Amino acid sequence: MLRELRRSLVWYLFIAPTFIIYGLFVAYPTLQTFRLSVFQEVATKQQFVGAVQYIRLLTTDVFYASLVNTIGLGLAFLVIVVPLSLVLATLLNQLRVAPNLFKTIYFLPQITSTVAIALIFSYVFNPSWGLVNGGLHLIGVSDVPLWLAEPRLVLGSSRTMATIMAVWTALGYEMLIFLAGLQAVPAELNDAAVVDGAGPLQTWWYITIPSLRPTIVFIVLTGTIDAMSRFSDLWTLGGPSGSPARSLQTIVMYMYQTAFEGNDFNLASAMAVVMFLIVLILTLVNFRLFLRRDFASAE
Amino acid sequence: MQAETEPMPPAAVAQPAERGGFLAGRRQAELARQIVILAVLIIGALSMIVPFEWMLATSLSRSANSSMPRIPQLWPSDASFFNYKIALTNLPVLTYYWNSFIVTASATLGLLLFSSLAGYAFAKGRFPGKSVLFVILLTTLMIPFEMRMVPMYLEMRDLHLNDNLLALILPFIAGGFGTFLMRQYMTSIPDELLDAARMDGANELVIFSQIVLPLCGPVLAALTVLSVLWRWNDVLWPLLVIDNNKLYTVTLGLAVEGRSQGTLTGVVLANTTLAILPIVLIYILLQRFIVRGIMLSGLKG
């Protein structure tokens, strides 16, 4: 056993830096988050209080609002971006003129900082002279939506604008991922379908979409996690409280407010734990759909 | 190109097949299809470009700071570099660039090195506890950054690393995702290659650097692209950790200044253009590369 360990020493050295960083910046902080969430600060000392922070969370309307907001924005985003990028990827896959040019253009928003995009979009959607409303003025519409100034849950509201912004930013990326998935569909499957007399729509529904299942799962999963951790673009637009009227506040923004404006690290940690549990459940659900089939065959 | 039965062409572009026979009808239908596809994609592409063009145009307009035209113009009537002069004198843009560059480059180099080392160990190494350790490492992927950000902030404060660029670099020089990506790629390197080198007496470090690493071009490129994007565009963590505005990164500086300048539309957009210009230029130069890297990482993911 000792000899095996000695021979394995080199491998342990190889993984050491990674695990040191992991220990310092992943394991320790995560455990600390759990720990902080069951404590309370009393006269600059930490005192164990069990589930007090969680009960506080459960009775905080603002927390619920931010949670519902986060999930709602995430859902709206996914519902629009997944079909849209799939359609675009399908079209792009069949384009014979300059497909690379289109890939480059569509991916451009992804490499731009979300802060820059938020600033640009705050002007694009300016209620008086922005690109969007200006365009509406041009075609004669007088009752233009208020976009960022509209906190209510209506079509021309801050939330709609935030969703459009998210879709615009991610469309190119999702499209590329779908494109990779489409190009990995074996040609024999399509040929067999043609031999069996399937039309293009049937081929698409019965062969392409099922082959894309892992890709769709990947996109939905990463989209969900990204939606739950949404911060910088909405913060740039409306500050940590997600103005107007908290219509843009996500749970991370509220966590930030609690920790760094309210100085309550314990409550913020409880929030982080709740957020983690939600992400965990969603991840596990997705993994059950995806990994079980693939790992069985690959490994 | 897949062999498919052609769908009935829509009535608007239906052409009788008598001219030139059956083949001409098919070619025309195919052409019609390409045109429709092209049209749709062009509309989408325009929607990607127009906001940037408008940003550029407005940043060149001095009058944008006081009043904006009701009907948006795609090129200003009073084009000048006025806003840029203000932006460059008001903000230490070059300092921000330098900060972003240091953080991004150091973190990326570290990530490439340590991820490939660990990835190689998990792909080809044999040591007790390998699978357990790998699973533990993978848990990183399931723990969102926000989950650990509060203690990380406190940690940095206790280590006296806050307000220090190191705080922006260290957490990201190694991690589960990079290791995972490298490992997945390296498992496809044939063992015979490595065994032959071992029989020639080479130790693992030599094998790693001379044989394995050179074969990893594509995945290293993909990881580089991802790391650069993440570090350059990260706002939340720098916001938490850095108070000294001389240490701001480009994106953080842009956010803070952009939010405080509010009504000076022209200046803010000039700032924004300056902030994204280098990345856009690099992107245009390397786009083929970058796009391929993203698609590769998506497949592996």
B142: distance to nearest CA of chain A, Å? 7
B21: distance to nearest CA of chain A, Å? 23
Which range among B26-35, B125-134, B284-293 shows the weakest confidence by mean pLDDT?
B284-293
Length of chain B, in residues:
301
Residue A204: pLDDT over 70: yes
Number of folded domains that form chain A: 2
Is B288 a member of any domain?
Answer: yes
- Per-residue pLDDT, averaged over A127-134, amounts to 82
Is B97 a member of any domain?
Answer: yes
Q: CB–CB of A206/A117 below 8 Å?
A: no
Residue A299: pLDDT over 50: no
- Per-residue pLDDT, averaged over B186-201, amounts to 86
Q: What is the pLDDT of residue B45?
A: 92
pLDDT in tens, B73-85: 777 777 788 888 8
Q: A21 vs B175: CB contact, 8 Å cut-off?
A: yes
Within this chain, do residues A269 and A229 fall inside the same structural domain, yes or no?
yes
Residue B1: pLDDT over 50: no
Q: Residue A113 is nearest to which of B115, B128, B251, comparing CB atoms?
A: B251
Q: Which residue type, as a one-letter code, is found at position B49?
A: I
What domain range is A20 assigned to? 2-37
Q: Which two tokens stand for residue A11?
A: 């491998």
Is B123 a member of any domain?
Answer: yes
Which H/E stretch holds residue A42? strand A39-42
Split at pLDDT 50, 70, 90, the class of B169 is very high
User: Could you give the 3-state DSSP secondary structure of residue B95?
Assistant: helix
β-strand partners of A41: A46
Mean pLDDT taken over chain A: 83
Q: Residue A26 is nearest to which of B58, B140, B232, comparing CB atoms?
A: B140
* Nearest chain A residue to B268, by CA: A119
pLDDT in tens, A280-292: 888 788 777 765 5
Length of chain A, in residues:
299
Is B62 a member of any domain?
Answer: no
Within this chain, do residues B207 and B122 fall inside the same structural domain, yes or no?
yes
Within this chain, do residues A9 and A113 fall inside the same structural domain, yes or no?
no
Is A279 a member of any domain?
Answer: yes
Read off the CATH number of the domain in which B162 is found.
1.10.3720.10
Read off the CATH number of the domain in which A99 is found.
1.10.3720.10
CA geometry: angle A187, A189, A191, nearest 5 deg? 70
> B167: closest CA among A180, A25, A236, A165?
A25
Is B76 a member of any domain?
Answer: no
Within this chain, do residues B123 and B186 fall inside the same structural domain, yes or no?
yes
pLDDT in tens, A141-170: 777 778 877 777 777 788 888 999 999 999
Q: Which residues 11-50 on chain B approach chain A with CB closer than 8 angstroms?
A: 33-34, 37-38, 40-41, 44-45, 47-50
pLDDT in tens, B54-75: 888 888 888 777 777 767 777 7
Is A49 a member of any domain?
Answer: no
Query: How many A×B Cβ pairs under 8 Å?
Result: 299
Q: Residue B72 is nearest to which of A36, A96, A134, comparing CB atoms?
A: A134
d(Cα B88, Cα B101) in Å, to the nearest integer? 18
Q: Which residues 127-186 on chain A approach chain B with CB closer than 8 angstroms?
A: 128-131, 134-135, 137-138, 168, 171-173, 176-177, 179-181, 184
Q: What is the pLDDT of residue A297?
A: 41
Eight-state DSSP code of residue B9: P
Within this chain, do residues B125 and B46 fall inside the same structural domain, yes or no?
no
Within this chain, do residues B37 and B102 fall inside the same structural domain, yes or no?
no
- Per-residue pLDDT, averaged over A71-77, amounts to 91
Residue A3: pLDDT over 90: no
Is B73 a member of any domain?
Answer: no
Mean pLDDT taken over chain B: 82
Residue A118: pLDDT over 60: yes
Residue A80: pLDDT over 90: yes
Within this chain, do residues A212 and A275 fall inside the same structural domain, yes or no?
yes
pLDDT in tens, B129-143: 888 999 888 888 778
Higher pLDDT, A214 or A70: A70
Q: Which residue type, as a one-letter code, is found at position B135?
A: V
pLDDT in tens, A245-257: 788 888 888 888 8
Question: What are the chain B neighbours of A286 within 8 Å (beta carbons)?
Answer: none
CA A218 to chain centre: 11
Residue B19: pLDDT over 80: no
Q: What is the pLDDT of residue B209?
A: 85
Question: What are the chain B neighbours of A88 within 8 Å (beta carbons)?
Answer: 40-41, 44
Within this chain, do residues A185 and A240 fall inside the same structural domain, yes or no?
yes
Q: Is the ipTM of this complex over 0.90?
A: no
Start-to-end C-alpha separation, chain A: 27
Residue B11: pLDDT over 70: no
Split at pLDDT 50, 70, 90, the class of B23 is low
Q: B294 vs A114: CB contact, 8 Å cut-off?
A: no
Residue B144: pLDDT over 90: no
Q: A259 vs B150: CB contact, 8 Å cut-off?
A: yes
Q: Which two tokens stand for residue A13?
A: 């050295």
Is A16 a member of any domain?
Answer: yes
Within this chain, do residues B40 and B97 fall inside the same structural domain, yes or no?
no
CA distances (Å), B202 to each of A9, B196, B206, B208, B211, in order?
16, 9, 6, 10, 11
Within this chain, do residues B291 and B225 fall inside the same structural domain, yes or no?
yes
Is A188 a member of any domain?
Answer: yes
Within this chain, do residues A232 and A291 fall inside the same structural domain, yes or no?
yes
Within this chain, do residues B35 and B119 fall inside the same structural domain, yes or no?
no
Within this chain, do residues B163 and B270 fall inside the same structural domain, yes or no?
yes
A32 touching B (Cβ < 8 Å): yes
Is B268 a member of any domain?
Answer: yes
Within this chain, do residues B175 and B260 fall inside the same structural domain, yes or no?
yes
Q: Which two tokens stand for residue B76?
A: 């200003």
What domain range is B219 assigned to? 91-300
Within this chain, do residues B97 and B14 fall inside the same structural domain, yes or no?
no
What is the percentage of chain B residues whose pLDDT exceeds 70? 89
Start-to-end C-alpha separation, chain B: 27
Is B75 a member of any domain?
Answer: no
SS (H, E, C) B124-154: HCCCCCHHHHHHHHHHHHHCCHHHHHHHHHH
Within this chain, do residues A6 and A109 fall inside the same structural domain, yes or no?
no
- Per-residue pLDDT, averaged over A40-56, amounts to 79
Within this chain, do residues A106 and A189 fall inside the same structural domain, yes or no?
yes
Within this chain, do residues B32 and B126 fall inside the same structural domain, yes or no?
no
d(Cα B53, Cα B166) in Å, to the nearest integer? 36
Residue A125: pLDDT over 60: yes
> A257: closest CA among A63, A36, A59?
A63
d(Cα A142, Cα A126) in Å, to the nearest integer? 15
Number of folded domains that form chain B: 2
Is A144 a member of any domain?
Answer: no
Within this chain, do residues B171 and B273 fall inside the same structural domain, yes or no?
yes
Q: CB–CB of B237/B149 below 8 Å?
A: yes
d(Cα A111, Cα B52) in Å, to the nearest integer? 13
Split at pLDDT 50, 70, 90, the class of B300 is low
